[in-house]
Amino acid sequence: MTNQATTAPPISRLRCIQCGAVRDTADQDFRCPECGDLLEAYFPGWVTPSGPRAGGMSASELKERWLQRKLSLLPLDQSGVWRFRELLPALNDSIDAITLREGNTPLYQLQRCARIAGVQTLFAKHQGMNPTGSFKDTGMTCASSFAKQAGFSWVACASTGNTSASMAAYASRGGLKSLVLIPEGKISWSKLSQSLDYGAVTCQLKTDFDGCVRVLNDLVKRMPVYLLNSVNPHRLEGQKTAAIEILEQLNWEVPDHIIVPGGNLGNSSALGKALIELKELGLVSRLPKLSIIQAHGANPLFRSMKESGGKSIQPMSADTLATAIRIGNPASWKKAVRVLQSTGGACEEVSEVEIALAKAEIGSDGIGCEPASAVTLAGLKKLVRSGFVKVQDTTVLVLTGHVLKDPDFTIAFHKGELFKGTQFGEQVGVLKSEQRAPIVLDPTVDAVQRVLKSAESSH
Ligand code: F0G
């Protein structure tokens, strides 16, 4: 900690999204002590007499500086999160940043999926290409660094598997101990194995994700444990950078739509916040519409928008094979509603069969993703059918997790076993064209040749 840093005015402050109360530190539950709602970071120094400035720089200077950093060998500059540090809360000493060189993920054009969805230009921002295989790393580098700065030795989260994998990795890298609460039997083995390997104390609670959150919220009131769920505003600040990257990768040409999966609704809130801030700072002149897609079995935001225009939400008991978004009581729903309203985005729901089909379609574009990420393509198809997305619109799907995150789902899908014995059994005909089960053969050239010939004639 340098004297200079401690005496400088804070670059960002924390503000309650409900009552507007402003503070510089948060309690361990990251709730407003006045009204109990969520906090968000805001940057009072951006308003200057010579117009909006972040880190004292104009829009064009920021763009230039961020590009220059790509040539730097400094760990902080090599991180696709800290590269944009003018738009993030500042650490007292950047040496404290825990980074695995997260971010800098690819933006791929999806040609086959574009044809399937009926649009001309479709991109995938693949956040599964982060160090632990999900978008969570972009938030975790930020929030775990603040945990370390605040002097905590324990960090904790409730998770459907990706947050826990990410937290466990960043905690270990930063010399912190981590506690993971996950719903027993409801997360993929890949994600569970990550948190074990990265060194977390991993507890499988006999409840769902929402039950894990309840236990954790009480725990942090009793123990000096730093909460790393997405109610932590520093997590969302880090996650903002994916939106900045998308714009930079499109050479600051604003796409018409960005489509994200919705679970606990932190990520949609973060990406939307980034877009709004980029516009405030003059880095873009208009906003893309940010749309949120939920699984039908875990659709509290979709219902809220339909039934009350986002004024209230009814928690539900959630169920979907896309276990990452199996969430019935999303913490950040008010922030997400604000993003939908400010960007003019839509909220849609998609069925289990639609998710499974879209996942295989993204796979066969040579990209792949985990089930929760595939709601984006499934949702896009619906939004094209309803006319909300036009054929000539440019759309970016945010793929949140890597294809290897849930191999059990993928193998069951291709073997035609995913929906066996379920209520969806009758709808699976539409999946046939995307199912590519492994073929067991005698070890002879003839046998393989026959398969090759038959595959050739069916293509
Ligand atoms: N996609 C994936 C792959 C996720 O892991 C999650 C959330 C989401 C989408 C939804 O993002 O919650 O910000 O709306 N996973 C959390 C976890 C809940 O614990 O890993 P959200």
- Model confidence over 142-164: pLDDT tens digits? 999 999 999 999 999 999 999 99
Instruction: Read off the amino acid at residue 272.
Output: G
- Does the beta carbon of 188 lie inside 6 Å of ligand 1? no
- The whole-number pLDDT of residue 407 equals 97
β-partners of residue 418 are none
β-partners of residue 157 are 180
- The whole-number pLDDT of residue 4 equals 39
- The whole-number pLDDT of residue 95 equals 79
Q: Determine the distance separating the centroid of ligand 1 and the alpha carbon of 450, expressed in angstroms.
A: 43
Q: Which of 109, 116, 127 is nearest to 396 (CA)?
A: 109
Residues of the chain with pLDDT below 50 are 1-7
- The whole-number pLDDT of residue 8 equals 56
- The whole-number pLDDT of residue 2 equals 38
- The whole-number pLDDT of residue 444 equals 98
**Residue 321: HSE in the Cβ half-sphere, 13 Å Cα cutoff:** 27
- Does the beta carbon of 230 lie inside 6 Å of ligand 1? yes
- The whole-number pLDDT of residue 96 equals 80
**Angstrom distance (rounded) from CA 182 to CA 186:** 8
Pocket mutation for ligand 1, best pick of 163, 273, 325, 373 (most atoms within 8 Å of C-beta): 325
Quote the strand ranges of 26-106, DSSP E: 39-42, 47-48, 51-52
- Does the beta carbon of 267 lie inside 6 Å of ligand 1? yes
Per the document, the length of the chain is 459
**Angstrom distance (rounded) from CA 342 to CA 49:** 26
**Angstrom distance (rounded) from CA 31 to CA 284:** 32
Q: Under 8 Å CB-to-CB from 393, ≥6 apart: which residues?
A: 119, 121, 255, 256, 257
β-partners of residue 201 are 179
- The whole-number pLDDT of residue 459 equals 72
In the chain, where are the structural domains located?
107-133+236-434
Rounded to the nearest integer, the mean pLDDT of the chain is 96
- The whole-number pLDDT of residue 3 equals 38
* pLDDT tens track for 57-87: 999 999 999 999 999 999 999 999 999 999 9
- The whole-number pLDDT of residue 6 equals 40
**Angstrom distance (rounded) from CA 320 to CA 307:** 22
Q: Which CATH class is domain 107-133+236-434?
A: alpha beta
The sheet carrying 154-158 orders its strands as 201-205, 177-183, 154-158, 225-227
Q: Where are the alpha helices (DSSP H) in 125-265?
A: 136-149, 162-173, 189-197, 209-222, 233-239, 241-249
Residue nearest to atom 19 of ligand 1 (CA): 159
- The whole-number pLDDT of residue 76 equals 95
SS3 348: strand
Q: Determine the distance separating the centroid of ligand 1 and the alpha carbon of 162, expressed in angstroms.
A: 7
- Does the beta carbon of 162 lie inside 6 Å of ligand 1? yes
